Structure 1
Amino acid sequence: MTESDGTPDQGTAAPEPTYADRVHRSVPGIISGVLLLAVAAWLIIDAVLNGTGRTPWIALAAAPVFAFPVIAYTIRPAVLANERRILVRNPLRTIDAPWATVEGLRAGYSVELLAGGRKYQIWAVPVSLRQRKRANRRAERAATTALTGGGSTGSKRRPGDPDPNRAWSDQVVDSLQEMRDLNAGKPHGAGELKTTWCWWIIAPTVAGLIALVTLIAVT
């Protein structure tokens, strides 16, 4: 096929495919945060409706001091990763690291991201030493069964299925490290490491704390 001037049609460059972020979050942390917020809302509403004197105002001032940190440490943390970068949402800060800036990830007593010559803790993937010990015991039993000729102790695990012989935090780190190894050397993995503070959490918490201290001081 040719253009109107007789030159070959170069065609339209196909757009680079984009993939949805792979998201990792702590479900128990989210559940505990929602429950804490529900209890706090009930107590604060009761104080506002039934309290006397400055009690309703103190309850309102205490609301952001309690609610925003709970949101920050339980509901907000998440890890989002795609072929371009890993984005870590910690309670008070967000780390946006293209794969080329990531030196590695590791899971010890906590999960850590090593990027741009610095170390960042990943709050969204808590390490459970008890879960890790249970997984290690299952792995040892499976290995012993295989050595003694007992065969497979369960159904064959498909790719992408959770591995019962590995703790959840270790599986997440393995998955993210695999994405890093696959994409760090590619053009789409290049970029600059960026960190930003979560001011929508910090500002109302500080404002509420100032209001709370002022109300208590003048009582």
Structure 2
Amino acid sequence: MTSPESQSPAPQPEPESKYRVYRSVPAIAGGVLLLAIAGWLGIDALVSGEGRTQWLTLALMLLIVPLVVAFTLRPAVYAGDDRLRIRNPFRVIVLPWGQVASLKSAYSNEVLTESGAKYQLWAVPVSLRARKKAARREMRATAQVRRSMGRDEGRGSALGMSAGMGQGLLGGGPESEGPARAETDRIMDELRGLHEARHQVETAQGEVTVRWAYEVVGPAVAGVVLVAILLAVG
């Protein structure tokens, strides 16, 4: 007879870590609009065109649609507890946090690996306009706090204490939220924090893998070949 200990159920595998997904909403909106325009023009050319025009339209759509999808709808960044998965227009890069050296923000957001390789984050584009807008918002908030502090200093002690408490409540909002930052800069801050927390973890080690997106490259190359053949044949 087996003992109760031997009948204990086998341990269940731990669930996979969830990913935080980052994508560019303006790029998605622009991609949907471009696909709608391309579909409308393409269908119109197929219906009203004749002979060679129809074949050339099909070849151009085979070329244009994958490229629009690649540069607008496809890019995404998946940040997990152990790995950073980057889905760029033509490649998918999987980076264990242990292989990430730093995350750099300048005119583009990039990941630098321990081996010196550099990969751009297409889904997290840098917006200089958003940065300037955030800087102006921060300057206005700082000026407002300084004006409020100046008014408090000119009041009596009792009134000043009351006003100071009120100012503490009023100023606590912006200060608790931290300085104004552009959306993509806040995303990079989150990724840097995750990298710093998980860089030395054992499960976050491994090799960098890079895979070409043949589901995008294949149709685009086929479209280029078809267009070239049709133009050469005349």
Q: By how many angstroms is 1:155 displaced?
A: 7.9
Structure 1 Cα separation of the partners of residues 46 and 12 of structure 2: 59
Any gaps of 5 or more consecutive residues in structure 1? none
Q: Deviations over 1:149-169 (max 9, x none)?
A: 454667837x9x8x7810011
Q: By how many angstroms is 1:45 displaced?
A: 0.9
Instruction: Give the superposed CA RMSD.
Output: 2.6
Structure 1 Cα separation of the partners of residues 5 and 222 of structure 2: 69
Q: Are residues 1:142 and 2:141 paired?
A: yes
Q: Deviations over 1:40-94 (max 9, x none)?
A: 0111111111101210010001111110110000000000011010001111111
Any gaps of 5 or more consecutive residues in structure 2? 150-166
Q: Are residues 1:128 and 2:143 paired?
A: no
Letter in 2 for 1:197: W
Q: Does the 8 Å CA contact 2:110/2:119 hold for their aligned counterparts? A: yes
Correspondence list, 1:68-217, <5 A? 68-115=66-113, 116-149=115-148, 151=167, 156=173, 165-217=180-232
Partner of 2:40: 42
Q: By how many angstroms is 1:20 displaced?
A: 1.8
Q: By how many angstroms is 1:11 displaced?
A: 8.2
Structure 2 Cα separation of the partners of residues 43 and 51 of structure 1: 11
Give the % identical residues: 41
Q: CA 1:131 to 1:154, structure 2 compared with 1: closer, same or farther past 3 Å?
A: farther
SS where residue 73 of structure 1 aligns? helix
TM-score (norm 1): 0.88
Q: Does the 8 Å CA contact 2:145/2:171 hold for their aligned counterparts? A: no
Q: By how many angstroms is 1:106 displaced?
A: 1.6
- The structure with the largest helix share of the pair is 2
Structure 2 Cα separation of the partners of residues 206 and 49 of structure 1: 25
Q: By how many angstroms is 1:107 displaced?
A: 1.2
Partner of 1:55: 53
Q: Does the 8 Å CA contact 1:142/1:153 hold for their aligned counterparts? A: no
TM-score (norm 2): 0.82
Q: Deviations over 1:104-128 (max 9, x none)?
A: 1121111011124211111111111
Q: Does the 8 Å CA contact 1:107/1:169 hold for their aligned counterparts? A: no
Q: By how many angstroms is 1:4 displaced?
A: 1.8
Higher gyration radius (CA): 2
